[in-house]
Structure 1
């Protein structure tokens, strides 16, 4: 099994998320506008301000990692180990020190695509 330390620090994980998420440029998750500016930081994450809707957001906003108290590097490690090495959720639970329920919910949100709301009124 690979070690969690292989994923570096939280700032390295935040940089990786930023590169993957905004590879086509930063856009507001609410109004989809590309008129955004940097607006400080929130922990290890870059904060942005949308010029159209005047909302702020960071790199985790609108992702499965949003509102999680668990470190991003632990989630990235879990997803990588689960998908690449078919690691059991019980093993991951011990490795990143969370409850089984927590890891099951996150991995399920990552693996199962969200249902579209088309056709609903």
Structure 2
């Protein structure tokens, strides 16, 4: 299982990469994509720009299971990656470069799991 040390993680198997003062790219982890199996479809069900922590903002459909995308914090969706919506199987080959959203939030990165924290919950 690949887990980059320079990212932040959630208990719902999402990774976050800080790309600005308040902005993050977000996607699913290698652990999640392996559990899901071959990914056939991603459905982004949140059309709103503002999302509350715990809201479902999409679904990933795979050969083994369906995976709910749960917002890790209150945030504003700045951009949706339509490329992964069109060719969802890209996530299986490179989950840490296939982001779903760019989001903006003013919460501290302390709210997310570190590399070590994430490794503990996946064992």
TM-score norm. by structure 2 comes to 0.31
Select the structure with the greater relative contact order (CA < 8 A; seq sep ≥ 6): 2
Flag the structure with higher helix content: 1
* The structure with more radius of gyration: 1
Flag the structure with higher strand content: 2
